Every structure is written in structure tokens, then in C-alpha cells.
Amino acid sequence: MAEAARKEEKKIIDEGLDVGVQNLTEERIEKVITRVLKGESGARLKAYIETCVHCGLCSEACHYYLSHDKDPQYSPVGKVKQTLWKMLKAKGKVSAEFIKDASEIASTQCNVCKRCAMYCPFGIDIAYMMLTVRRICHLLGVTPLYIQDTAHSHAVTMNQMWVKDDEWIDTLQWQEEEAQAEIPTLRIPLEKEGADIMYSVIGPEPKFQAQLLYQAAVIMDVAGVDWTMPATPGWDNSDMAMYTGDNEIMGRVKRAHFETAARLRVNRIVMGECGHAFRSVYDMGNRWLGWRMPPIPIVHAIDFYYELIKNKKITITEKFKEPVTLHDPCNVIRGGGLAEKARFVINAICEQLIEMHPNREHNYCCCAGGGVINCGPPYKMTRMDGNRIKAEQLFAAKSRGAKILIAPCHNCHSGLEDINHHYGLGYEVKFISDILYDVIEKPS
Amino acid sequence: MLTRIEWDWEPGSREIADISKWQTQFNWVEEPCVSPNGEQVAAIVNLAEGEFNVCVNGKTWETVFDKIWHLRFAPDGRPVAFVSDTGEWTVAVDGRTWTHKFGYVWDMMFSPDGQNIAVAVQQDMAYGMALNDVIWKKTYSNLTNPTLSPDGSSTAATVQVADFGEGEIYKFQKGVFSVALDGQTWDTAFVNVWKSAISADGQKLAAEVRLNLYDYTIAVNGTPWSQTFDCVWEPIFHPQNNAVIAPVRSGGKWLLAQDGQIVWDRNFVQLWHPMVSPDGNTLAAIVAPKYGRWTVAVNGRPWSVTFKDQLSEAVFSPDGKRVAASAKSDGRWTIVADGVVWKNRFDRVWPPIFSPSGETLAAKIERNGRYSIAVNDHIWDQVFDAVWDPVFSPEGDKILLRTLNNDRYVRHVVPVEEILH
């Protein structure tokens, strides 16, 4: 790979990093790095390290690299070089300041979207290596403050947003009541043991996006689905502990989720439009607990909408008229293979889909996922500057007529809202459910 | 309350209620629930906008509420629900509300005899628990993981004992959570406290705690074990000697610990839901002996048969000599008992139930959207729209079945022999 260019000096103040490093000693750093690299990462990391030929072909995959005029420091391999390789080379004897920089790079300059793994001739999963760095930083107590706070929320409440046990149930009943103004017999069935489906969402929905619960309830009701929602913790499928490297809390949160579904004896868990949560329940959280696959089948919203439309459980009265473009979220498209089903759904409910390019599994990341947006306001410009390429991609789709940007993932949705405003793109960003709710036939 | 021996065990079927008639009376009828002895069926019913009641065997409670949820029968046969009247929530037992009203009420728990009813409560954002309409004297700014003692005389929960603001991660990491027994917290606070258990004599409270972001252990009456681990799961008490037993994680593997000491001589990829036999002689747990394979370990020895997807609800027979569980591989459920797998496979199966002698094992099953029961791997030849868990007669020779077909709720008493042949 090319020599690293000099990064611009940045002065980001983050108490999670600044205070965190004050408690470090060289002995502790070495001990933790050794523990993770020798005790936890094992053969997988060794294979990646020994296989990488430093060719740099991963660079062109990374939106940070492309958005920073191909600065090699932002290339995937460059980020590994600045973090993990130095830890390995120094056998864990690195400074506290190095750990702080490594944490910032791994947590805020990589969305662990795995696009680079497709560009690597050997398929090396660089995201895994960045998550390994985050794991080390977690064990050293050097994690960006905002996402650390979110991990604390998960630990206490089993949800992402400090939603208390009663607030969750109360919100569901409030949304049920709201929806009954539209469909008087509609119910959000709580704790219905033996239902076919448990519907699961992420913390922000009851906290400040309650309309999504409303929409889901209407869609379920109209489709005649036998469904339920739990009245206990375990309802939230999200997992920022997965992204801070706090694997123990990740496992605890996922155990609560799966055991809640098991207690309700449902056949399947249908989840809302969230990408990272899919990764957590389908890949990382379940596997940390010892399950090769989820113990209860997980159906992402895209897949569920596909099923409802394909099986004629819902009827589209009139397609959405304004031209839309579709952002393919990494975890459910690259990670979950739902690209064509997403297009089936969009084409079924919208008159015109204008593809952005690249698309499907080659789509550019939103720059919010992987926990980066959860690192909070200090890093907003990291995301904006780091995703100019996304703005260009969106602008190109806009110039071909797209007016609505569909992002079927919460983090993508929020991140693209920021990109949209920062670069003045003029899109309206929607979830699929926003449109689906509008266009389905409902009882008059 | 009639004891199980006093229930009607005369073989035969008896229709208790035709719920289709309720559906013509009310706007809607919610999911029915049935009493343990099968003599009552009840459902939350909607009368009009913002008007709800509970219908038991066709008769409604005297009072109409603006909202009702979580209707359940207590083990003693009393229907209990959360009810709201003019925005205030409380508990209604057999139609009679508790004296105390709350901002919200949830997490209903019963003692095994049904005489004690515990709930979590919130009033003006202050959290506590209530047991039989008696509220904790002290409240807290948050409460999670409520639990009830084995005899139902005490309640406990994780509580927040100090305030911290958004983003105050270091204040959080100093420890602001504890556990309260009947409202009184330990003197010690922890970074996290999760599930707790109360000993059979009510003298001890054990909980899984996190001492800092990395060190986990079990605390008993506020004192952590001297050993720390990479993770722990919830503790249980040995019913006879009050020892505290919990799964612990060390070096990437799970082990079983008792009072801080490792008691099984091997580790597992996963180990949870430990349980002690009723006679106190046997210790079992759900385990993954290798990645992606699930089974039961009895006294540290895993069964040779393993399952891919899931294994849940392991139970001891009343004499403690047998263990059974429901298990799933490739999406198909079955029952496994003492390491022997039933031949039959089901779309779904519910937790297995042993007869009092432990000789017979029954479970609710589902095939092709219809429900029945299976006994000792024999499937009953009748199917229903809905079935509740089977209940054995005290002698174990008959089974009480509670079924629903075409909205008709029927109580059956079936000789076990009839199902086996």
C-alpha cells in the first residue's frame, strides 16, 4: 500500500476517551491486548493477519477513503495498520495515547460495514479486526462516551434508550389506543403466548418514533397476522454493546431477547427496519451465546413485507407516486441477502424506483452504522466529511429524478438524514413502513 | 380453594362455555385463559370505546374499567388482571380492586398456592413493589428484575439507589444499583444488579452483579463472592441447604459454581438454567457441550444426544430421578427425557410435565396449526383449535385437558391408558 498521508489535526473532545486513558498503565494495556489477541481472537485473527499481503485493494471499498481524496490512512488496511498491527508488532507494549487514537479510529472511522471484505482478494473481514480493536479498548475503558452510555442503558434496561419497564408497556397501549381511532378493533396483543410471531423493535421506537409502532400494528392488523409483543424486557433487538466490544452485555441482551420469544413460544421473531439489530440477533449475539444460528427464526421487516405482499395478505390500493431511490443497508443486504426482496417490495408499493449506483451489496455505507452515529455529536463531522461519496451517490440519483430516499434501517435512516441536510440534497427520507402504511388497503 | 385431589376427576368431557356467544355480546373478546382446575374460562372483553370488562364463564365482573390487561388465573383459581379506572391502575382479583392505585402496574407474580400476588408498581415516577395490596415503604427511581420468594411472602427487585444524568458514565460506573428485599436495599451498590433469588427460608437474597465493567460475581445478602468471573448468570438457592448455585464464565467457557467454588469438573460453551432436584440430590442445567449443540447435563455429565436449535424448559420429575426437556433441531420440536429422544416430531411442543410418580410424561403439542397432547411419545387422536397444558391427577392415572374447538371451551378428564393405546 501507499505511504500514509498526514491526517488533518482534529481536536475532538470526548470524555469517554480523554478520561478513560488517564486510568491506563502500560502493564494493563499489555495484559488486555495479550488477553484479547491470544485468548479471545484465536485462529480467525491469526489467519487474517497472516493472509493479508498489504495490497491495498480494500481501499476503494471504503467510503471514508473515497471521501477523503483517497487518503491511505482512511483505507481499511490503513486503519488496521494504525491500530491492530502496531499492537501486534509491539506485543501489546503501546502507550495510553495510542489506545485513545486506536479507539477513535476503530469506533468512529469504520462502520464495520464489511464492504471492504468483498474487495479483498482473500475476503479478509477487516470489520472483525476493527471490532477486535474496540474489544481491546472496551476492556481498557476507553470508549466514546455516548455509545458507552448506550451500552450502560442496555446493561440496565436491556434496551438502548433507558426505556423503563412500565414505559414500554404504556407506550404500546398508547399506540394501540391511537390506532383504534383509525381501526376501532385493532389490538397490540401483549404477552400472547403461542402466537405465530413476536414483533421486536429497537429502543428509539418507543422513545421517540412511536408512529412506527402504530404503523406496524396497522400492517399486522390488516394482514391478519397472529402476533404479539412482550410486556417484559427482551423486546429490544438492538445492541450497541456489540459495537463497544462489551460482548458480555451483548450476550446478556440477546439472551433476554431470545428467551422472551421462547417464553412466548412464538414460531418466528419479526423485526422492524433495523440493520445492526439484525446483525446482532442473526450473527454476533446468538453466536457469542453458543447458537450457530438464531434459536428462533428471525425475519427482517423487508422479508416480512415481501411475504405479506407475495402471499396477498395485504392489498396495495394505489402505489406511491413520487420517484424513490433505495439505500441498501449493509447488515440486511450484504449481510442478509435481502437485496432482491427489497426491490420486490419497493416496486410493489412505489410507481418508480430509481436505483442509486452502486447498489445492492456494493452500495456505499450510510456512515452512521456500526455504532458510529451512536458515538454522538462530537463525531458528526467525522461522519459528514467521511461520507462525501454517499452525498455524490445520492445526488446522482436525485439528478435522475429520485425525490424520496428509502432507508430500511434505523441507523442508515438517521445517518442519511444528516447527510441529506449537510449536503443540501433535498430528499425526504422514509422507512418502507412509512410508505407501506400509506398505500395498503385498510378497513374503511 | 379446592385442592387438586378434590377436583372433578371423573372421566368424560364437559362443556364449560361457548365463547362464540360472548363474541355476539361484546365488541371483541381477547385471548381466553383457563383456571388450573379447568372449571373456568375467562377473557378480557370490550364493551365500547374505552370500556372493558372480564367475562368468566359467561358472566362479567360488576365493574367496567377503561382498560384491562394481563388477565391470568392465580394457582388457586382466582382470575386476576391489571385494570385502569380514570387513568389510575391497580390489580383486580375476582373483580375486586386493590385499595391502592398506581401510575402503572405490571409484572404479575403468584406464589405456588396462589394466595400471594406480587406486582411492580410506579407512582409519580417512583418505583416499588406491592404484595397483596401492601406497598414497599420505600420507592426508587427505577426498578427491574422483580422476583417473589418461593413461599410468596417476600418480594425483591433491582433498584436504582442514586441518580445519574445522561452521559454520566463515570458516575454510573461507580455503582448506583442495588437490590431491595421487601423494599430495603443492601448497603452495597454495584455497577449492575440483574436477577435475584430469595432463599426458601426468606433469610437470604442472592443476585448476579457486575462490580465494574468487567468483573462479575454473585452477591449474597450484599456481600460478593470473593471470586470474580468474566460473566455470570442468575443464581438459584439449593432448596435444602441454602447454598447458592450459579453459572459462571471464565476463560471463554462456562462452569457451574456453588458458593463461589466450581462444582462441576468440566466446562461448557454455554451453561444456564441450573436446577436442583426436589430431593436436593441432583444438579442439572441446560448446556452446550460444543458450539451449536444443546443438551442437559445432570451432575455435570451431558447427555450424549444434542440438539441444534434450542433446548428449553428442563424439568425434574417430582421424585428427582428423571429429567425431561423440550428440544428443537432443524425447526422441528420433540421431547427428550433422560437423554432418550421421542420418535415423534412436532411443529411446536410446550414444556413437558411429569406425572406425580415420574413414570408418565405429557406435553402440549402442535401439528399443522392444530393442538393436542402427547403422552410418553403417544399422540392423542383428538385435535383442537387450542389446548392448555395437561394436568395429571394426584394418582397420575388421569389427565385433565382444557381445550377449545369452534369457540367451545371443554374440560376433559382422560385416563392415561386411553391415550397410550
Q: State the complex-level ipTM.
A: 0.98
B-chain CB neighbours of A207 within 8 Å are: none
Strand segments (E) across B191-300: 192-198, 205-210, 216-220, 223-224, 231-232, 236-237, 244-250, 253-258, 261-262, 270-276, 283-290, 293-298
**Which 8-state DSSP code applies to residue B258?**
E
- Using the predicted structure, report yes or no on whether residue A10 has a pLDDT greater than 90: no
Tell me which residue has cell 427487585: B157
Calculate Rg over the CA atoms of chain B. 23
Give the mean pLDDT of B108-114: 97
Residue B283 forms beta bridges with which residues? B276
Is A169 in contact with B231 (Cβ distance < 8 A)? no
Please give the residue of chain B at the shortest CA–CA distance from A196.
Answer: B369
Q: Does A292 contact chain B (CB < 8 Å)? A: yes
Predicted pLDDT of residue A2: 46
Is B144 in contact with A233 (Cβ distance < 8 A)? yes
Residue from B201, B234, B203 nearest B217 by CA: B234
Predicted pLDDT of residue A11: 81
Instruction: Please state, in angstroms and rounded to a whole number, the distance separating the CA atoms of residues A230 and B42.
Output: 21
For residue range A230-256, what is the model confidence (pLDDT) as tens digits? 999 999 999 999 999 999 999 999 999
Q: What proportions of chain A, in percent to the nearest 5, are helix, strand and coil?
A: 55, 5, 35
Longest alpha-carbon distance in chain B: 66
- Using the predicted structure, report yes or no on whether residue A6 has a pLDDT greater than 70: no
**Which 8-state DSSP code applies to residue B24?**
H
Instruction: Please state, in angstroms and rounded to a whole number, the distance separating the CA atoms of residues A267 and B331.
Output: 9
CATH architecture designation of domain A324-439: 3-Layer(aba) Sandwich (3.40)
Predicted pLDDT of residue A398: 98
Predicted pLDDT of residue B232: 98
Answer whether 0.90 is exceeded by the pTM.
yes
Residue from B351, B411, B361 nearest B36 by CA: B411
Predicted pLDDT of residue A1: 44
Question: Cα angle at B66 between A165 and B388, to 5 degrees?
Answer: 65
What Å distances lie between residue B7 and A93, A364, B14, B36, CA to CA? Answer: 73, 67, 13, 10
Predicted pLDDT of residue B204: 97
The overall average pLDDT reported for chain B is: 97
Q: How far is A295 from chain B (nearest CA, A)?
A: 5
For residue range A87-146, what is the model confidence (pLDDT) as tens digits? 999 999 999 999 999 999 999 999 999 999 999 999 999 999 999 999 999 999 999 999
**Which 8-state DSSP code applies to residue B352?**
P
- Using the predicted structure, report yes or no on whether residue A5 has a pLDDT greater than 80: no
Q: How far is B417 from chain A (nearest CA, A)?
A: 28
For residue range B242-255, what is the model confidence (pLDDT) as tens digits? 999 999 999 999 99
Predicted pLDDT of residue B2: 77
Instruction: Please state, in angstroms and rounded to a whole number, the distance separating the CA atoms of residues A293 and A270.
Output: 15
**Backbone φ, ψ for residue A406 (5° rounding):** -95, 125
Q: Mutating which of B106, B163, B164, B213 best tests the A interface, going by the most A Cβ atoms within 10 A?
A: B213
Residue B335 forms beta bridges with which residues? B326
Tell me which residue has cell 441529506: A420
Cell digits for A207?
422513545
Q: Does A267 contact chain B (CB < 8 Å)? A: yes
Domain span(s) for CATH 3.40.50 in chain A = 324-439
Q: Provide, rounded to the nearest whole percent, the portion of chain A with pLDDT above 90.
A: 96
For residue range A357-382, what is the model confidence (pLDDT) as tens digits? 999 999 999 999 999 999 999 999 99
- The side-by-side arrangement of strands in the sheet containing B293-298 is B270-276, B283-290, B293-298, B301-302
**Backbone φ, ψ for residue B412 (5° rounding):** -115, 145
Predicted pLDDT of residue B171: 98
For residue range B350-407, what is the model confidence (pLDDT) as tens digits? 999 999 999 999 999 999 999 999 999 999 999 999 999 999 999 999 999 999 999 9
Instruction: Please state, in angstroms and rounded to a whole number, the distance separating the CA atoms of residues A112 and A115.
Output: 8
Instruction: Please state, in angstroms and rounded to a whole number, the distance separating the CA atoms of residues A90 and A82.
Output: 12
Predicted pLDDT of residue A9: 55
Three-state DSSP state, B146? strand
Predicted pLDDT of residue A8: 53
- Using the predicted structure, report yes or no on whether residue B92 has a pLDDT greater than 90: yes
Q: Does A265 contact chain B (CB < 8 Å)? A: yes
For residue range B135-185, what is the model confidence (pLDDT) as tens digits? 999 999 999 999 999 999 999 999 999 999 999 999 999 999 999 999 999
Please give the residue of chain A at the shortest CA–CA distance from B193.
Answer: A156
Is A246 in contact with B107 (Cβ distance < 8 A)? no
Predicted pLDDT of residue A396: 98
Q: How far is B358 from chain A (nearest CA, A)?
A: 24
Burial class (CB in 10 A: 0-12, 13-18, 19+), B421: exposed
